[in-house]
């Protein structure tokens, strides 16, 4: 029988910034004092999956935004929407259908 070691680390941070550095394959969370947690080995596919899980899951991330941050989050969601519209606007219908497996 093979034993598997499983570890969970939990941290509390008043998050100021969350981002991704492609050249380092790194997801980072930085607090207001510039303390940083880096999660290395995260590639662009993982980040797309994270976004998909946040916005397409039954329990969406925006359901938990506090009222005091709604206006700021709405602006960020609009920025995401505009970026996706540009991304899909640059693709032809044929490219889109091929990317999702439509024959």
pLDDT confidence of residue 10: 87
Q: Is the pLDDT of residue 41 over 70?
A: yes
Sequence-separated (6 or more) residues with CB below 8 Å from residue 31:
13, 14, 15, 16
Q: Pick the residue with more confidence: 98 or 76? A: 76
In 1-103, which residue ranges form alpha helices assigned H by DSSP? 44-56, 70-89, 93-99
**Residue 100 to residue 34: CA distance in whole angstroms:** 40
Q: Where are the domains of the chain?
A: 11-58, 65-103
Residues 16-54: b if buried by 16+ CB within 10 A, e if exposed: eeeebeeeeebbbbbeeeeeeeeeeebeeeeeeeeeeee
pLDDT confidence of residue 88: 82
Q: How far apart are the first and last CA of the chain?
A: 46
Using CA atoms, how far residue 56 sits from 45, 59, 62, in Å, is: 16, 8, 11
Q: Is the pLDDT of residue 94 over 80?
A: no
> Binning pLDDT at 50, 70 and 90, where does residue 4 land?
confident
**Residue 51 to residue 83: CA distance in whole angstroms:** 13
Please tell me the pTM assigned to this model.
Answer: 0.68
Q: Is the pLDDT of residue 21 over 80?
A: yes
Per-residue pLDDT reduced to its tens digit, 50-67: 999 988 888 888 888 877
């Amino acid at each position: 029988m093979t034993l598997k070691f499983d570890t969970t680390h939990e941290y509390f941070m008043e998050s100021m910034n969350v981002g991704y550095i492609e050249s380092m394959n790194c997801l980072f969370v930085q607090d207001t004092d510039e303390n940083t947690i880096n999660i290395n080995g995260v590639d662009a596919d993982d980040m797309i999956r994270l976004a998909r899980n946040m916005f397409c899951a039954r329990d969406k991330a925006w359901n938990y935004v506090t009222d005091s941050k709604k206006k700021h989050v709405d602006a960020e969601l609009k920025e995401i929407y505009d970026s996706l519209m540009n991304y899909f606007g640059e693709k032809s219908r044929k490219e889109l259908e091929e990317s999702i497996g439509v024959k």
